[in-house]
């Protein structure tokens, strides 16, 4: 499942078009029918904070997916909301050639997230990043 986050704020900021409630309903359905599932979390987008990261981790800790893939930073593509935000924040400039990947990472988590996710993956050997 590419649920990307367990935070309604982050899901909205990423333009996902679904809510945490819908993610939980999907998890419950998969568990009810006995299908193992994997999840993907994408950290560092606009509005991401330590609290929203922890909210996402706690959600998946409640449901125990078979595998969790953790990704930090969101690749910036032209003509997207993150592109516009990265331009406004000075993360990139209009002259940047985005064929060479550049990533958006919320300043609120940049200095904290790596150590936190290392600790999380020590608790959960089936969680990788």
| CA distance linking residue 31 with residue 26, whole number of Å | 9
pTM of the model as a whole:
0.92
3 state DSSP class of 53: helix
DSSP one-letter code for 122: H
Q: What is the pLDDT of residues 61-79, one digit of tens each?
A: 999 999 999 999 999 999 9
For residue 129, how far is the Cα from the chain centroid?
Answer: 11
Please check whether the domain covering 8-128 is classified as CATH 2.40.160: no
User: What is the distance between the terminal CA atoms of the chain, rounded to a whole angstrom?
Assistant: 16
Q: For 97-125, what is the mean pLDDT?
A: 96
Report which DSSP code applies to 4. B
Residue 1 has pLDDT above 90, yes or no: no
> Would you say 37 and 68 are in contact if contact means Cβ atoms under 8 Å apart?
no
Q: State what percent of residues in the chain have pLDDT above 70.
A: 100
Q: What's the whole-number mean pLDDT along residues 19-40?
A: 96
pLDDT at 32 exceeding the cut of 90: yes
| Residue 92 DSSP one-character state | S
Which tokens belong to 26? 């999907």
Per-residue model confidence (pLDDT) at position 97: 94
């Amino acid at each position: 499942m590419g649920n990307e986050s367990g935070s309604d704020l982050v899901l909205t900021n990423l333009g996902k078009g679904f809510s945490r409630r819908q993610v939980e309903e999907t998890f419950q359905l998969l568990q009810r029918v006995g299908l193992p599932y994997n999840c993907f979390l994408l950290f560092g987008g606009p509005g991401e904070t330590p609290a929203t990261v922890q909210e996402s981790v706690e959600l998946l800790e409640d449901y125990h997916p078979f595998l969790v893939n953790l990704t930090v930073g969101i690749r910036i593509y032209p003509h997207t909301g993150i592109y516009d935000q990265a331009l406004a924040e000075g993360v990139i400039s209009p002259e940047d050639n985005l064929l060479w990947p550049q990533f958006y990472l919320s300043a609120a988590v940049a200095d904290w997230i790596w150590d936190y996710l290392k600790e999380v993956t020590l608790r959960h050997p089936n969680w990788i990043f």
